C-alpha cells in the first residue's frame, strides 16, 4: 500500500471563501461598516448575488423579510437571474414575482398558505421549476446537506452596529437558516425595524451577519393562530368533547401539539369547563409544543397548562407571554423566544399526540390540504403527525396505543404516537371532507410532480374524529375494516352514505367506532355556553388585558 | 330557492305537549326550524326551503335518520335553510324535538 499524503494537492480548498470575499468587495461601496441604507438595498443584492445562487428569503410561517423581498423583486433580471429559492414560506406576492421576472427559476419550500392559488398557477404555466414541497424539519435538514443557501435574507426587530440581531418572540427559522449560510461562507443580510446601541438579547450573533438594512417600515407578521371563539360552531364543540373524552382522557395524553383549526381551538376552550368537570386537570394537556394560541389563555389562567414551547409567536401575545415566564420560554430580557427547528423536533419526538384538521381524507385515511387549484404546502403537520420510528422513550399513552396496534401479538413491546384528524364531515360550501381520491393525486399528475402531496399518510393516522363519532384505526385489522371505520364516521358525505351498515355496526360493537352516546355525550349538550371564552374580548379579559388582539379581530 | 317536501309515517306521536317551537336562525351556514303539532299522530311532514341545489339526497338521508331516531308523529316541520351543513341540520332538528318535549 502506498501512502500518498505527501503529494501536494493541486486544487483550491477555499473557493467558497474567495467567492465570499469577492461578493463582499463588490458590496463594500454600499456599506458603512455593516450598515446599508434602505435605498441601496437593491444595489446591494445585485452586488452580492450570482446567477443560480441558492437564496433563502425568509419567508417564515409568520414573520416576513418583506422589505428585502420587495428590494430583490426590483433587481435587474439581467444581473440577478435563475436563483434557486430555498425557504420555508412562500407567503408574499413578491416571492412569486421573482419567478415571473426570471430573477428566480427553481423552488424548494414547505408552506404557501396565502399564495397557494397563484403558486399552483405558476407551476401549471411552468414558470417555476419545483424541487419539492418539504416538511419544515426536512427542508431545514437539507440546508446542511444539499440545499445550503449562498445568501440568506433575514429579518429582525433590531440590530446593533456589530450586526447582533434581536428577533424577540419571532425568532422562528432564522437561527437554522443563518447557521447553515454563515458557516458555509455564505452572505447574511438582515432587514431590521431599528438600529440600537445594544440589543435586548442576542438571538443571532453579529459575526454571522454581514449587512444590516434598517427598513422603512416594520416587518410584516401574519396573525395565523388567532381563532375568534365567537366563530366556533356547536358541531366543533361536539367534536372537541369527543376528542377530550374519547382520546385525551382515554389515553391520559399530557404532552401534545394542536393544529390551528377551530376544532382544536374548541378543545382549548373546553379544558377549563367540560374537561374540568370530568376531573381531568393535571391528567391531560399539561405540556405543549404549540404556537402561542390566544384560545389557550383560559386554560393557562386556570392552571391547566404547565409548559409551552413555540415554533413562532402570535401577534398581540408579547406582553402576556412576558408576564407568564413559568409557562413560556423567555430570554433574560423577559421576552418570549421561539425556534421552529427545536419546536418541530420537540413536536415530533417529545409529544404523545398530534391532533389537527384537514381538508380531505380518503378511504385509507391519507389526508391532504391540497384542493383543486391550490397548493397550500405542509408546514409542520407531517412531522408532528407521524409516528417517529426514532423514538425510544416510553410513556403511558404511547404504550397503550402500541398495545392496541399489536392486537395481543407476541413480540417486542413498541409504542405508537397518537395521530388524530379532527374534522367536520362537510367543509365550507358543503364540500365533503371524505373523498374516494384526494385532489392532490390529480394535481400531481397535472403538474407532473414526483409525489402527490399528502399531509399525513393513512398508516400514521390512529384516530379520526367527526361529529358522528371516533374511528380508532389502531384497532382495525384489515384494509376493509379500516375503510368501513372511516366510512362509519363520514356522516352524510357520499363516502359516508356508501358504508356497509352491518360492518359499521360490528365495528361499533368492538369499540373501533364510538358514537357520542357510547361515550356518554349528548350532542344537545354541545353548546356555546361550554366555551371558557365566547369572544376575543373575553380572551383579553382572561389575560388581565395583557393580550392585545390584532385590530382585525377587534369588533367592539 | 328550492322547496323539498318529505312525508313520513311514524311509529307514534312526538312526545311532549308544546304546540310549537322554533330553533336556529336563518344565516349563512345555519337554518331555522319551525315545529308545529298540526298533523295526525303517525304523520310527519317536513318542508325545506333551501338556496342550495343538488342536495336532495342528502336532505332525504338526514331527515329519514331523524324520523327513525325520534318518531316525530304529528309534527309539521318547516325548515328555512341558509346553506347549513347536514350536521347542523341534524342538530337543529334534535334541538327542536327537545323543545317540543320541554315546552308546554
CATH, residue A210: 3.40.1080.10
What is the tally of structural domains in chain B?
A: 1
Q: Read off the pLDDT band of B26 (50, 70, 90).
A: confident
Mutate to test the interface with A, among B25, B33, B58, B93 (most CBs of A within 10 A): B58
CA distance A523 to chain B (A): 7
Chain A residue closest in CA terms to B82: A429
Contact (CB<8Å) A235/B61: no
- Residue A552 half-sphere exposure, CB side, CA atoms within 13 Å? 6
- Which residues 62-81 of B are in CB contact (within 8 Å) with A? 62
Residues in chain A closer than 8 A to B58 (CB atoms):
492
Q: Is A336 helix (H, G, I), strand (E, B) or coil?
A: strand
Element containing residue A270 per DSSP (H, E): helix A262-270
What pLDDT shows up at residue B61? 95
Q: What is the mean pLDDT of residues A459-476?
A: 98
Residue A448 DSSP one-character state: T
Is residue A166, in this structure, part of any structural domain at all?
Answer: yes
Would you say how long chain A is, in residues?
A: 556
* Pick from A261-270, A353-362, A367-376, B1-10: least confident: A367-376
Q: What is the mean pLDDT of residues B89-94?
A: 92
Q: Which residues contact A497 (CB under 8 A, 6 or more apart)?
A: B57, B61
Contact (CB<8Å) A467/B55: no
Question: Which three cell numbers mark A310?
Answer: 413555540
Q: pTM above 0.90?
A: yes
**Contact of A429 with A450, CB cutoff 8 Å:** no
DSSP H helices, A106-166, are 116-124, 136-142
Mutate to test the interface with B, among A426, A433, A492 (most CBs of B within 10 A): A492
Alpha-carbon distance of A432 to A457, in angstroms, equals 19
pLDDT tens readout for residues A418-440: 999 999 999 988 899 999 999 99
The answer to whether A425 faces chain B, any CB pair under 8 Å, is: yes
CA distance B12 to chain A (A): 23
Q: What is the CATH number of the domain that holds A398?
A: 3.40.1080
Q: Which residues contact A63 (CB under 8 A, 6 or more apart)?
A: A155, A167, A170, A172, A219, A220, A221, A312
Does residue A552 have a pLDDT over 80? yes
Residues A486 and A510 in one domain: yes
Write out the residue range of the structural domain in which residue A529 sits: 223-351+522-546
Centre a 10 Å sphere on the Cβ of residue B13 and count the other Cβ atoms it contains: 18
- Residue A116 half-sphere exposure, CB side, CA atoms within 13 Å? 18
Contact (CB<8Å) B91/A430: no
Chain B residue closest in CA terms to A423: B87
Does residue A298 have a pLDDT over 70? yes
What is the tally of structural domains in chain A?
A: 3
Alpha-carbon distance of A91 to A379, in angstroms, equals 12
Q: What is the CATH number of the domain that holds B17?
A: 3.30.230
The answer to whether B27 faces chain A, any CB pair under 8 Å, is: no
CA distance A501 to chain B (A): 13
Contact (CB<8Å) B91/A234: yes
Contact (CB<8Å) A430/B85: yes
Alpha-carbon distance of A92 to A89, in angstroms, equals 9
Residue A389's DSSP bridge partners are: none
Q: Is the peptide bond before A59 cis (omega within 30 degrees of 0)?
A: yes
What pLDDT shows up at residue A433? 97
Is residue A555, in this structure, part of any structural domain at all?
Answer: no
Residue A89's DSSP bridge partners are: A111
What pLDDT shows up at residue A113? 82
Q: What is the mean pLDDT of residues A363-375?
A: 89
CA distance B87 to chain A (A): 7
Alpha-carbon distance of A463 to A102, in angstroms, equals 45
Residues A154 and A96 in one domain: yes
Residues A79 and A120 in one domain: yes
Is residue A6, in this structure, part of any structural domain at all?
Answer: no
Residues A30 and A138 in one domain: yes
In our burial notation (b when 16+ CB lie closer than 10 A, e otherwise), range A438-450 reads bbbbebbeeeebe
Contact (CB<8Å) A233/B88: yes
Is residue A360, in this structure, part of any structural domain at all?
Answer: yes
pLDDT tens readout for residues A61-93: 999 999 999 999 999 999 999 999 999 999 999
Residues A217 and A308 in one domain: no
Is residue A1, in this structure, part of any structural domain at all?
Answer: no
Radius of gyration of chain A (CA): 25
What pLDDT shows up at residue A516? 95
Does residue A366 have a pLDDT over 80? yes
Does residue A340 have a pLDDT over 90? yes
Residues in chain B closer than 8 A to A492 (CB atoms):
58, 61-62, 86
The answer to whether B86 faces chain A, any CB pair under 8 Å, is: yes
What pLDDT shows up at residue A251? 98
Alpha-carbon distance of A178 to A425, in angstroms, equals 43
**Contact of B90 with B23, CB cutoff 8 Å:** no
**Contact of A58 with A177, CB cutoff 8 Å:** yes
In our burial notation (b when 16+ CB lie closer than 10 A, e otherwise), range B60-98 reads ebbbeebbeebbbbbbbbebbbbbbbbbbbbbbbbbbbb
**Contact of A103 with A72, CB cutoff 8 Å:** yes
Alpha-carbon distance of A274 to A261, in angstroms, equals 19
Residues A78 and A191 in one domain: yes
What pLDDT shows up at residue A7? 66
Is residue A479, in this structure, part of any structural domain at all?
Answer: yes
Residues in chain B closer than 8 A to A524 (CB atoms):
91, 94-95, 98
Instruction: Tell which wins on pLDDT, A351 or A224.
Output: A351
pLDDT tens readout for residues A10-49: 899 999 999 999 999 999 999 999 999 999 999 999 999 9
pLDDT tens readout for residues A253-293: 999 999 999 999 999 999 999 999 999 999 999 999 999 99
Q: Read off the pLDDT band of A1 (50, 70, 90).
A: low
Mutate to test the interface with A, among B68, B85, B100 (most CBs of A within 10 A): B85
What pLDDT shows up at residue A3? 60
Q: Which residues contact A275 (CB under 8 A, 6 or more apart)?
A: A244, A248, A249, A281, A284, A285, A304
pLDDT tens readout for residues A506-537: 999 999 999 999 999 988 889 999 999 999 99
Alpha-carbon distance of B44 to B72, in angstroms, equals 6
The answer to whether A481 faces chain B, any CB pair under 8 Å, is: no
The answer to whether B2 faces chain A, any CB pair under 8 Å, is: no
Residues A466 and A533 in one domain: no
Alpha-carbon distance of A158 to A214, in angstroms, equals 8
The answer to whether B1 faces chain A, any CB pair under 8 Å, is: no
Is residue A9, in this structure, part of any structural domain at all?
Answer: no
Q: Is A349 helix (H, G, I), strand (E, B) or coil?
A: helix
Mean pLDDT of chain A, nearest integer: 95
Residues A499 and A371 in one domain: yes
Phi, psi of A313, rounded to the nearest 5 degrees: -120, -165
Q: Which residues contact A230 (CB under 8 A, 6 or more apart)?
A: A534, A535, A536
CA distance A497 to chain B (A): 8
The answer to whether B87 faces chain A, any CB pair under 8 Å, is: yes
DSSP H helices, A215-294, are 234-243, 249-251, 262-270, 276-277
Residues A143 and A236 in one domain: no
Alpha-carbon distance of A105 to A99, in angstroms, equals 6
Contact (CB<8Å) A524/B98: yes
Contact (CB<8Å) A235/B85: yes
Residue A157 CA: distances (Å) to CA of A193, A237, A343, B43: 5, 38, 21, 69
Phi, psi of A334, rounded to the nearest 5 degrees: 100, -20
Write out the residue range of the structural domain in which residue B98 sits: 2-102
Q: Read off the pLDDT band of A94 (50, 70, 90).
A: very high
Among the three residues A170, A189, A221, which one is the final residue of a domain in this structure?
Answer: A221
Q: Is B62 helix (H, G, I), strand (E, B) or coil?
A: helix
What pLDDT shows up at residue A374? 86
Does residue B104 have a pLDDT over 60? no
The answer to whether B88 faces chain A, any CB pair under 8 Å, is: yes
Q: What is the mean pLDDT of residues A212-223?
A: 95
Residues A346 and A357 in one domain: no
- To the nearest 10 degrees (0 to 180), the angle between helices A479-487 and A501-509 is 100
Alpha-carbon distance of A229 to A273, in angstroms, equals 14
DSSP H helices, chain B, are 56-70, 86-102
Among the three residues A201, A221, A241, which one is the final residue of a domain in this structure?
Answer: A221
Q: What is the mean pLDDT of residues A138-149?
A: 98
Does residue B88 have a pLDDT over 60? yes
* Pick from A7-16, A238-247, A435-444: least confident: A7-16
Is residue A472, in this structure, part of any structural domain at all?
Answer: yes
What pLDDT shows up at residue A5? 63
Q: What is the mean pLDDT of residues B55-82?
A: 94
Does residue A6 have a pLDDT over 70? no
Q: Which of A60, A57, A85 is nearest to A69 (CA)?
A: A57
Q: Which of A120, A121, A63, A128 is nearest to A92 (CA)?
A: A63
Amino acid at each position: 500500500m502506498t501512502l500518498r499524503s505527501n503529494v501536494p494537492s493541486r486544487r483550491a480548498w477555499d473557493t467558497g471563501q474567495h467567492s465570499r470575499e469577492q461578493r463582499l468587495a463588490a458590496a463594500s461601496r454600499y456599506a458603512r461598516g455593516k450598515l446599508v441604507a434602505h435605498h441601496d438595498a437593491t444595489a446591494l443584492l445585485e452586488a452580492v448575488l450570482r446567477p443560480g445562487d441558492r437564496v433563502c428569503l425568509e419567508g417564515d410561517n409568520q414573520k416576513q423579510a418583506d422589505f428585502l423581498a420587495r428590494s430583490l423583486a426590483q433587481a435587474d433580471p439581467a444581473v440577478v437571474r435563475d436563483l434557486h429559492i430555498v425557504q420555508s414560506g412562500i407567503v408574499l406576492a413578491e416571492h412569486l414575482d421573482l419567478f415571473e421576472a426570471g430573477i428566480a427559476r427553481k423552488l424548494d419550500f414547505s408552506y404557501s398558505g396565502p399564495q397557494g392559488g397563484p403558486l399552483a398557477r405558476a407551476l401549471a404555466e411552468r414558470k417555476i421549476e419545483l424541487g419539492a414541497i418539504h416538511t419544515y424539519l426536512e427542508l431545514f435538514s437539507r440546508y446542511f446537506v444539499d440545499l445550503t443557501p449562498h445568501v440568506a435574507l433575514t429579518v429582525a426587530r433590531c440590530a446593533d452596529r456589530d450586526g447582533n440581531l434581536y428577533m424577540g418572540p419571532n425568532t422562528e427559522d432564522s437561527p437554522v437558516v443563518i447557521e447553515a449560510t454563515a458557516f458555509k461562507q455564505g452572505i447574511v443580510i438582515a432587514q431590521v425595524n431599528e438600529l440600537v446601541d445594544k440589543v435586548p438579547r442576542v438571538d443571532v450573533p453579529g459575526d454571522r451577519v454581514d449587512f444590516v438594512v434598517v427598513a422603512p417600515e416594520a416587518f410584516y407578521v401574519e396573525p395565523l393562530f388567532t381563532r375568534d371563539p365567537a366563530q366556533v360552531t356547536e358541531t366543533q364543540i361536539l367534536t372537541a368533547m369527543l376528542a377530550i373524552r374519547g382520546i385525551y382522557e382515554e389515553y391520559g395524553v399530557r404532552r401534545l401539539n394542536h393544529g390551528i383549526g377551530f376544532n382544536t381551538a374548541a378543545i382549548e376552550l373546553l379544558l377549563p369547563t367540560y374537561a374540568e368537570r370530568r376531573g381531568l386537570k393535571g391528567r391531560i394537556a399539561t405540556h405543549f409544543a404549540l404556537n402561542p394560541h390566544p384560545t389557550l389563555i383560559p386554560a393557562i389562567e386556570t392552571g391547566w397548562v404547565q409548559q409551552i414551547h413555540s415554533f413562532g409567536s402570535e401577534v398581540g401575545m408579547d406582553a402576556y407571554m412576558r408576564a407568564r415566564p413559568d409557562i413560556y420560554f423567555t430570554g433574560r430580557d423577559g421576552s418570549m423566544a421561539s425556534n421552529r427547528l427545536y419546536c418541530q423536533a420537540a413536536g415530533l419526538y417529545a409529544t404523545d399526540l398530534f391532533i389537527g384538521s384537514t381538508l380531505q381524507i380518503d378511504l385509507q385515511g391519507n389526508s391532504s390540504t391540497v384542493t383543486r387549484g391550490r397548493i397550500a404546502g405542509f408546514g409542520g403537520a407531517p412531522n408532528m403527525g407521524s409516528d417517529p420510528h426514532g423514538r425510544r422513550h416510553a410513556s403511558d399513552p404511547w404504550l397503550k396505543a402500541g398495545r392496541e396496534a399489536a392486537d395481543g401479538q407476541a413480540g417486542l413491546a413498541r409504542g405508537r404516537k397518537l395521530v388524530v384528524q379532527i374534522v367536520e364531515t362537510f367543509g365550507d360550501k358543503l364540500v365533503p371532507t371524505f373523498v374516494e381520491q384526494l385532489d392532490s393525486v390529480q394535481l400531481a399528475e397535472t403538474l407532473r410532480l414526483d409525489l402527490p402531496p399528502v399531509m399525513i399518510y393513512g398508516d400514521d393516522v390512529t384516530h379520526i374524529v367527526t361529529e358522528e363519532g371516533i374511528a380508532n384505526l389502531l384497532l382495525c385489522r384489515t384494509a376493509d375494516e379500516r375503510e368501513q371505520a372511516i366510512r362509519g364516521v363520514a356522516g352524510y358525505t357520499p363516502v359516508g352514505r356508501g358504508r356497509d351498515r352491518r360492518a359499521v355496526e360490528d365495528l361499533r360493537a368492538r369499540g373501533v367506532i364510538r358514537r357520542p352516546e357510547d361515550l356518554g355525550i349528548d350532542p344537545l349538550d354541545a353548546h356555546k355556553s361550554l366555551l371558557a371564552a365566547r369572544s376575543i374580548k373575553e380572551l383579553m379579559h382572561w389575560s388581565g388585558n395583557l393580550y392585545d388582539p390584532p385590530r382585525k379581530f377587534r369588533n367592539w | 330557492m328550492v322547496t323539498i317536501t318529505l312525508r313520513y309515517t311514524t311509529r307514534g306521536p312526538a312526545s311532549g305537549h308544546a304546540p310549537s317551537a322554533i330553533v336556529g336562525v336563518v344565516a349563512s351556514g345555519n337554518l331555522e326550524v319551525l315545529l308545529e303539532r298540526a298533523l295526525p299522530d303517525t304523520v310527519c311532514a317536513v318542508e325545506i326551503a333551501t338556496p342550495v341545489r343538488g342536495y336532495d339526497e342528502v336532505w332525504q338521508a338526514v331527515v329519514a335518520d331523524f324520523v327513525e331516531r325520534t318518531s316525530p308523529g304529528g309534527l309539521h316541520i318547516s325548515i328555512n335553510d341558509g346553506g347549513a351543513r347536514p350536521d347542523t341540520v341534524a342538530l337543529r332538528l334534535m334541538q327542536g324535538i327537545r323543545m317540543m318535549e320541554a315546552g308546554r
